[in-house]
Amino acid sequence: MARAALPGGLMTTVSGGPPHPGPWQPARVTGIRRETPTAKTFTLTLPQPRSFWAGQYFVVRLTAPDGYRAQRSYSIASAPSDSAEVDLTVEILPGGEVSGFLNEAVEVGDVLDVRGPIGGDFAWDLRPALGLAGGSGIVPLMSMLRHARKLGQPGLFRLVVSVRSPEELYYAAEIQGPDASIVFTRAVPDGHVRPPGRLMARELAAALDGDRDVYVCGSTAFCDAATQLAAAAGVPVERIRVERFGFSG
């Protein structure tokens, strides 16, 4: 169980473990927002509110007229709430069977089959934490950052994002703040003090104030490098949680 203070002195409690998935259900697409040239956020409205923990995901299933089915898992980007709405951010992969359809064919008003929330190992239990994101791996960690901010506890979760260029940064208009740091590896925006380059051990150490769990999400190469940096900074291995993103499309 973990507890975090809300504005006005109220408390929120996370207990009993992350919610388990229910049955497949229809979700109406009520919003579509482009994040980068290769990513979109889809706002889905479920038939009724469905509780979830930051770090969990939903499965989206497509069914063709001939009965052929394809499904993919997409992390939840929105913060947990009492709303029936949930945001899924989808990276559009070249030749991607499901991501391509979502990008090219799905419009506001369409209905998708979804199931969730799913995932327990990467679900955030509201203990102080640091998120290390590589590229599209920011999605579940953004849910955590939004949750901490929503609780009025921005120091509860800190985020370090490694991304190649400003054009590839998800949630660029929202992410800025003292609880988030951006590392550009190949190109930087005008006025950015840090030169392009990989995440360094000293930058990670600066974000690891106090006793924090570490959540790492991104490609296999990024996760391996970030995990080594966290361990070298003194984070016990058992307090490092890793989620590697695949490229099934």
* Residue 78 and residue 63 in contact, taking contact as beta carbons nearer than 8 Å: no
Lowest mean pLDDT among 13-27, 45-59, 66-80, 143-157: 13-27
Taking only the tens place, the pLDDT of each residue in 73-117 is 999 999 999 999 999 999 999 889 999 999 999 999 999 999 999
pLDDT score at 9: 34
Taking only the tens place, the pLDDT of each residue in 154-212 is 889 999 999 999 999 999 999 999 999 999 999 999 888 888 999 988 888 888 887 89
pLDDT score at 13: 44
Lowest mean pLDDT among 35-39, 123-127, 225-229, 243-247: 243-247
Quote the pTM value. Answer: 0.91
Give the model's confidence band at 245: pLDDT under 50 very low, under 70 low, under 90 confident, else very high: confident
* Residue 245 and residue 218 in contact, taking contact as beta carbons nearer than 8 Å: yes
Could you report how far apart the first and last alpha carbons of the chain are, in Å? 36
Extended beta strands in 6-118, E state:
11-14, 25-36, 39-45, 57-63, 69-75, 85-91, 111-118
Kindly report the CA angle at 226 between 222 and 230, in degrees rounded to 5? 170
**Nearest residue to 243 (alpha-carbon basis) of 90, 102, 91, 137:** 137
- Report the greatest alpha carbon distance in the chain: 56
- For residues 179 and 160, what is the distance between their CA atoms, to the nearest angstrom? 9
